[in-house]
Amino acid sequence: MEASSQKTFYLETFGCQMNAHDSEKVVGTLLSQGYCQVPTVEEAGLVLYNTCSIRDKAEQKVFNRLNDYKKFQKQGKKFGVLGCVAQQEGAKIFERAPYVSLVCGSASYRNLPQMLVQLEAGKPRVTGLDDRETDECFETEFTARTNPHRGYITIIEGCDKFCAYCVVPFTRGKERSRASDSVLAEARKMADVGYTEIQLLGQNVNSYKDPAARKTFAELLAAAGEIAGIRRVRFTTSHPRDFGRDIIEAIDAVPALCNHVHLPIQSGSTRILDAMQRLYTRDQYMERVAWMRAAKRDISLTSDIIVGFPGETEEDFEQTLSLLDDVQYDSIFGFKYSPRPNTPSLKLQDAVPDEEKARRLAVLLDKQREIQRHNYQKHLGETIEVLVEGKNEARKQWIGRTSQNKTLNFSARGDANPALGSYVSVLATATFPNSLLGEMVV
């Protein structure tokens, strides 16, 4: 490592919003330990990869990246693998990439300062791998926030659901929630420094259980939405089993809570949901959809769907397509099933051929695209408040986001120049399957 006055690091992040926010906290921790973040591998003394293993071949992507950069080992650089692949592969990473010096799972980030000391002292291999017994969350005062408009707050870590296809319970440990007082204190600090939008995060965010027994998840949402200066509160990702009517009641009652819910279904077939160990039926999921459709506010609903799970028949797939008709999602993330290490689905028979999975995914996404084309047209002529997130200089358009988490690109008349991070009203004048177009209302 370099002299203490020149400790530099480079961090690359793969994966989800949880990983992105974990990286913000890791960066903050490193900065608090005297490190300086640099933009390239070439400039760094310590090279870190915060990894994701939710999809197939994720581990190979990491090892390929490490292999690309092993040439820098001769320059005295040290390499570390963080996150889900680190927890999943453990010491095997040292065998496959012997030039790696640090392997740290996400449940061990709270120990990073001590691990860095060991690394700086010359210890060739430092490991932080928690089992599922830890009750501690990664809370730090040193979060380096990278999104200037939306601040992320992790309220629950880990997962106890053990869906048959999912590696998360094995890589992120058991469910453990932060005290509501701590969450709200962080939200107030963010409001104090100018954030107007916050997003509460968790693998199953609505499975939150306040260790101090002060607030339910819905009560925590409402309290966050009532903090002075906070204009928008989002949350992701919800699990249908723990999704209560009280969440909808909170959205109706507190205007700052965004009228958007991401509620993964994964399959429209109850038989496949049972094989996936999802802990609910299609009818139970549709009951939750009915709660949202009966709400006072127009709640946008989005979802995740997996096609080609082992044993999924054409009839099962048709049930998923019929679910799209019944629900009318505003958007979905569609995936082909991929086997993951340690998961129960590895033992299932009747694998769906890759070409059939690809066909089903294409059919699913085509159908959803038509649903979105119709859904977005309903906004024509509406005046919608957006948070200004950026500007497309080439098109002379601003990029806005609605409370429903829809992109609304807009133009402004004359010399109007809305500030990034401000809220403006926009008249929707055109629609596309994935976005809206409009003009700012002066």
What single string gives the DSSP state of each residue in 254-277? -TTB-SEEE---B-S-HHHHHHTT
pLDDT at 2: 45
Q: Beta partners for 424?
A: 386
Residues 300 and 182 in one domain: yes
Cα radius of gyration rounded to whole Å, the chain: 23
Backbone conformation region of residue 163, classed left if phi is above 0, alpha if psi is from -120 to 50, else beta: beta
Asked whether residue 188 is assigned to any structural domain, the reply reads yes
Please check whether residues 412 and 284 belong to one and the same domain.
Answer: no
Return the sign of the alpha-carbon dihedral for residues 65, 66, 67, 70.
positive
Q: How far is CA 327 from CA 250, 272, 320, 432, in A?
A: 22, 18, 11, 20
- Which of 334, 357, 377 is at the close of a domain? 377
What digits encode the pLDDT tens for the residues 18-61?
Answer: 778 888 889 988 988 889 999 999 999 999 999 887 776 677 78
142 found inside a domain? no
Together in a domain, 284 and 361: yes
CA–CA gap between residue 81 and residue 105 (Å, rounded): 8
3-class secondary-structure state, position 423: strand
The CATH number linked to 189 is: 3.80.30.20
This prediction has a pTM of 0.85
Last residue of a domain, one of 377, 400, 427: 377
How many CB atoms neighbour CB 37 within 10 A? 14
CA distance 93 to 81: 8
Q: For each successive 10 residues of the chain (442 residues), what is the average pLDDT?
A: 68 82 87 91 92 74 81 83 87 88 85 88 86 68 74 92 91 90 96 95 95 96 98 97 98 98 98 98 98 98 98 98 98 95 91 97 98 97 97 93 98 90 97 96 86
Q: In 10 A of CB 86, how many CB atoms?
A: 27
The answer to whether residues 373 and 387 belong to one domain is: no
Asked whether residue 145 is domain-assigned, the answer is no
Peptide bond before 237: cis, by omega within 30 degrees of 0?
yes
Tokens matching residue 394? 């080439």
Number of structural domains in the chain: 3
- Structural domain boundaries, residue 340: 150-377
- Based on the fold, state whether residues 190 and 316 are members of the same structural domain: yes
For β-strands 407-411 and 397-402, DSSP reports them as antiparallel
Of 174, 91, 178, 78, nearest to 127 by C-alpha is 91
Closest CA to 138 of 202, 209, 193: 202
Which residue carries 């040193």 as its tokens? 142
351, 377, 403 - which closes a domain: 377
Task: Write 312-316 long-range contacts (CB < 8 A, 24+).
Answer: 312/267, 312/269, 312/272, 312/337, 312/352, 315/269, 316/267, 316/268, 316/269, 316/271, 316/272
Q: Per DSSP, what are the bridge partners of residue 438?
A: 410, 428
Distance CA 245, CA 190 (A): 29
Contact 404, 382 (CB under 8 A): no
Distances (CA, A) of 204 to 106, 160, 169: 16, 9, 11
pLDDT for 258: 98
Residue 210 phi/psi, 5° resolution? -60, 115
